[in-house]
Amino acid sequence: MTTLNLSLKQVHQLAYDALASNGCNHDNATAIADTITAAERDLCHSHGLFRLPGYIASLKSGKVNGNSVPSVEKLAPAVLRTDGDDGYAPLALQAARDPLVECARENGIAAMSMIKVHHFAALWVEIESLTEKGLAAMAFTAYTPSVAPAGGIKPFFGTNPMAFGWPRPNGNPMVWDQATATQARGEVMIAARDGHELPPGVGIDKDGNPSTDPNAVLEGCLLPFGGYKGASIALMIELLVGPLIGERCSFEAAAADTKDGGPPRGGELIIAIDPSRFGSTEDPFGHADRLFNELLTIDGTRLPGDRRVKNRAISATGGISIPQSLKDKIDQLMQ
């Protein structure tokens, strides 16, 4: 495969130009380009430029509002709602961040629902921005059916990712972000593109047979991690980002989607927590660091997110590598 090296500045400019030339205004294009660049910076290619054709397909089809103006309202003392105006999630998240931080500091905890958005990125981006403000946080979202329920062989749940972050005043925050599926669907798509096999147990083909062929799994479905345990968490997330906040569950998002290749409309729930407001008689961050340090005394361990931080040092100096075919495809989308 022929590859191309790009600096992070070039990644951002490429993403911005492609979005701006296909119906995104400056604010939306900048917010999405920021998110794409963050994914490439952390070498999470499945959520970087790889997603750009999907973003653009949704703009061209008219499914997504590239000129969206998100709005935030308070529903209760510690409950906020952000209406994304049928746009992409990054700009809505920017609009919601400061009100959510203020609400969490005032009440000790705050929840923010996000509706009428199209979410196509990794969750750690929004979680990390909250840990930088000294807050612990968690986030949940759903997608279209791509994961079988435990005991089933047909897709029902989205990959339904969840993320959690803990601030560390004297170091990098501890942030993890994971699907409730055995693997993110984007990673399976990249494996199919690059001709790689999947590890055993990731998914099944359309007839329900275990398969390591990514193309067969994409035609069939992924499996939940841990069987019934992962499926139960996926069900919980469906409830948190569907019925709880008045948005679509995965099966409803699929039924309403235009099938243009971009993300369906859905919701997200973010919970932000101020650790200083929960009654600990000692510094909660110092206490947490004792936990982390004890964990790291065990050979072979690392904190979640450490690899992502190391990847940033690599990409900051050496840039990132993408398939030339992806760059050519993006160029064509700007013509």
What whole-number distance in Å separates Cα of residue 277 and Cα of residue 186? Answer: 38
Active site residue 46: yes
3 — alpha (psi -120 to 50), left (phi > 0) or beta?
beta
What whole-number distance in Å separates Cα of residue 100 and Cα of residue 47? Answer: 25
User: Dmax of the chain from CA atoms?
Assistant: 61
Active site residue 132: no
What whole-number distance in Å separates Cα of residue 125 and Cα of residue 131? Answer: 10
Among residues 49, 164, 139, 45, the alpha carbon closest in space to that of 89 is found at 139
Dihedral pair phi/psi, residue 323, rounded to 5°:
-60, 140
Dihedral pair phi/psi, residue 81, rounded to 5°:
-135, 130
What whole-number distance in Å separates Cα of residue 160 and Cα of residue 158? Answer: 5
Among residues 162, 166, 172, 159, the alpha carbon closest in space to that of 311 is found at 172
What whole-number distance in Å separates Cα of residue 203 and Cα of residue 214? Answer: 8
What sign does the dihedral 122-128-129-131 (CA atoms) show?
Answer: positive
Q: What H or E segment, with its residue span, contains residue 5? A: strand 3-6
What whole-number distance in Å separates Cα of residue 14 and Cα of residue 205? Answer: 36
- Select which of 46, 232, 276, 321 is catalytic: 46
Contact 265/116 with Cβ under 8 angstroms? Answer: yes
Active site residue 247: no
- Select which of 45, 47, 118, 119 is catalytic: 47
What whole-number distance in Å separates Cα of residue 284 and Cα of residue 271? Answer: 18
DSSP 203: E
Q: What H or E segment, with its residue span, contains residue 136? A: strand 136-141
- Select which of 126, 128, 187, 268 is catalytic: 187
Active site positions, annotated: 46-47, 187
